[in-house]
């Protein structure tokens, strides 16, 4: 199922936050490896470092120690400008709060990443429309976020994440603000995208959501405590890890 091409590799990454006198280690040495085409659910109790891990591999924040490789580029040593380019070309973000620009049409929201790319502006509209079709919102392209339901807004955000044809999609609790039915729709969409070959990493608290993924990583207290693929997940029980939070 998984090809050999590595999308993410982390080597002993640590992240420290200074809290007054004390130093808080949000990540304390995490080694992970994600190949192209994988669908990973990152789980664990609140405060276990899931978001911190996502921010590191998403090039939104820098590690205190260790190294991060994205598409075989060592991103932990890049400068802000280079990181921006990497984010633009290789990563598509989906956020819990959608983060769409208000009073801006769905189409223009999807076009946004293209503004910062090398792609010629003559292609912008057709690319964005294509992505809106993929998420089933082509006929809503002129709508503004306030005129769309939560699920539709998240679809627009997913279209935006796809528009630069990134190597992976990072989603931090993408269904956290959605009801069960809409959650199912969004997860079905992610599954379809993964079937088409997109690498997807998503953070979630819900086992139902994690069940869509083919692999689950469990964090606790800043460490990776379990990493299992679906085929040998028979003995796996998320509650073992959640309960101790």
Partner 1 sequence: MNLLQLFRIAFTALKLNVLRSVLTMLGIIIGVSAVIVMVSIGEGAKAEVDKQIEAMGGNILLLYNDWNDRMAGGTGAVAKLTDGHAAMMEQEIFGIDAATPIVRSNAQIVAGPLNWRAQVEGTNNGYFITRNWDLAMGRQFTAQELQSGETVVVIGKIIRDELFGASDPIGQTVRVNNFNATVIGVLEEKGPDSRGDEQDDVVVMPLKTVRTRISGVSRNNPDQVSYLEVKGADNVSMNYLKDEITSYLRQAMSVRQDQNDPFRIRDMAETLESRAETQAIFNRLLAAVASVSLVVGGIGIMNIMMVSVTERTREIGLRMAIGAKPDDILNQFLVEAIALCALGGMIGIGLAYAITRIMETSYGMATLINPEIVVISIGFSALIGVFFGYYPALKASRLQPIDALRYE
Ligand X SMILES: Nc1ncnc2c1ncn2[C@@H]1O[C@H](COP(=O)(O)OP(=O)(O)OP(=O)(O)O)[C@@H](O)[C@H]1O
Residue ranges that bind ligand X, judged by CB under 6 A: 17, 19, 24, 26, 44, 46-52
Q: For residue 50, report the phi and psi dihedrals to the nearest 5 degrees.
A: -60, -55
Q: What number of chain residues touch partner 1 (CB under 8 A)?
A: 26
17 bridge partner residues: 24
Closest CA to 226 of 8, 17, 1, 43: 43
| 147 binding partner 1? (CB under 8 A) | no
- Residues of this chain, 40-59, that bind partner 1 according to CB under 8 A: 55, 58
| 199 binding Mg ion? (CB under 5 A) | no
- Residues of this chain, 171-230, that bind partner 1 according to CB under 8 A: none
Give the Cα separation of 134 and 158 in Å (integer).
9
Hey, what's the torsion of the CAs at 180, 184, 189, 191, to 10 degrees? 130
- Residues of this chain, 92-111, that bind partner 1 according to CB under 8 A: 93, 95, 99, 101-104
Closest CA to 10 of 81, 82, 80, 59: 59
Q: For residue 218, report the phi and psi dihedrals to the nearest 5 degrees.
A: -115, 125
Residue 99 Cβ vs partner 1, minimum distance, rounded to whole Å: 5
Closest to Mg ion by CB, 46 or 126: 46
Q: Which does 101 bind (CB under 5 to 8 A by kind): Mg ion, ligand X, partner 1, none?
A: partner 1
Q: Whats the size of the chain, residue-wise? A: 245
| 121 binding partner 1? (CB under 8 A) | yes
Closest to partner 1 by CB, 89 or 191: 89
Q: What is the bridge-based pairing of β-strands 168-172 and 73-74? A: unpaired
Task: Please report, as ranges, the residues that interact with partner 1 according to CB under 8 A.
Answer: 55, 58, 60-61, 80-81, 84-85, 87-89, 93, 95, 99, 101-104, 112-113, 115-117, 121, 160, 164
């Amino acid at each position: 199922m998984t090809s050999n091409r590595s999308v993410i590799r982390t080597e002993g990454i640590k992240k420290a936050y200074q809290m007054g006198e004390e130093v808080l280690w949000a990540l304390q040495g995490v080694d992970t490896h994600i190949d192209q085409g994988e669908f990973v659910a990152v789980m664990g109790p609140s405060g276990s470092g899931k978001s911190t891990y996502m921010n590191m591999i998403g090039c939104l924040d820098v590690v205190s120690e260790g190294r991060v490789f994205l598409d075989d580029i060592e991103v932990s040593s890049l400068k802000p400008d280079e990181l921006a380019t990497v984010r633009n070309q290789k990563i598509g973000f989906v956020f819990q709060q959608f983060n769409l620009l208000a009073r801006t049409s769905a189409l223009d929201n999807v076009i946004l990443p293209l503004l910062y790319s090398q792609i010629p502006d003559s292609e912008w509209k057709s690319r964005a429309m294509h992505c809106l079709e993929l998420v089933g919102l082509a006929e809503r392209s002129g709508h503004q976020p306030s005129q769309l339901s939560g699920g539709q807004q998240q679809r627009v955000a997913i279209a935006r994440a796809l528009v630069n044809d990134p190597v992976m999609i990072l989603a931090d609790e993408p269904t956290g603000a959605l009801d069960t039915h809409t959650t199912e729709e969004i997860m079905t969409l992610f599954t379809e995208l993964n079937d088409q070959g997109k690498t997807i990493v998503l953070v979630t608290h819900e086992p139902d959501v994690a069940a869509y993924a083919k692999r689950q990583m469990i964090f606790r207290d800043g460490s990776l405590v379990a990493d299992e693929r679906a085929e040998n997940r028979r003995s796996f029980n998320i509650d073992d890890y959640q309960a101790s939070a």
